[in-house]
Chain A
Amino acid sequence: EVQLLESGGGLVQPGGSLRLTCAASGFIFSDYVMTWVRQAPGKGLEWVSTITGSGDSTYYGDSVKGRFTISRDNARNTVYLQMNTLRAEDTAVYYCAKPPYTFYWWFDSWGQGTPVTVSS
């Protein structure tokens, strides 16, 4: 059974940094892209970032490009989201998600999310 467990969320001041972690189990981790999606309070889903299975390629949404960095440790079955220069508008629940197939990026497995609040 696929399991995705996010952690690392919390309260941080504007301009601060936070690193989110998604621990995965139940599948061959290195075979799959991993993605972060966020949801601001009362708002819709926003794609944040994706990393390929090898970690060679990364992709970012315009709102986080240059501030967030996605990475993975295939030996630890973990994907990370390093978030720097945080802004109030980054306040959201952050989900990690996995597709059912290597090459097609819809998502059938999601974590429960970790909340991030950016406020002074």
Chain B
Amino acid sequence: DIVMTQSPDSLAVSLGERATINCKSSQSLLYSSNNKNCLAWYQQKPGQPPKLLIFWASTRESGVPDRFSGSGSGADFTLTISSLQAEDVAVYYCQQYCTPSLAFGQGTKVEI
């Protein structure tokens, strides 16, 4: 099974500054049929279900602010919040969907 590992576990960023979250998979997430990476990112705030931010590693979900961006390929991926806003305080998760045995990273808590 594919194992997803995020780093760091938590980070504190000043308002308006950049936040960078890393996600590493135990094997390549390159999907051969379309040459895209089968990785999604979610944001979860306390007491709420997860919210989809990004899929195919870098495609932003409709309605997600453009300060959120995803990058990376193969087994190494990054979620970047270019200018942190107060409402971005949350836990962020990556998820692989290359195989039916889905897997999430352990989460990264972003604080001000």
Contacts and interface: CB of A to CB of B under 8 A. Distances in A.
B52 A35 contact: no
Interface stretch (A23-31, A76-84, A107-115): A107-115
Chain B, interface residues (CB within 8 Å), range: 20 to 34
A47 B105 CA distance: 10
Contacts of B101: 47, 59, 61
Q: Majority SS of interface residues in chain A?
A: loop
Interface string B64-107: 00000000000000000000000000010101010011111111
Contacts of B55: 104, 106
Contacts of A105: 97, 100, 102
A29 B41 CA distance: 24
A11 B104 CA distance: 26
Contacts of B106: 44
* Interface magnitude class on chain A: 20 to 34
A46 interface: yes
Contacts of A1: none
A46 B102 CA distance: 9
B49 A112 contact: yes
Contacts of B38: 104
Contacts of B104: 37, 44-47
Given A105-B97, A106-B52, A111-B49, A35 B102 contact: yes
A32 interface: no
B103 A47 contact: yes
Contacts of A37: 50, 104
Interface of A: 35, 37, 44-47, 50, 57, 59, 61-62, 95, 97, 104-108, 110-113
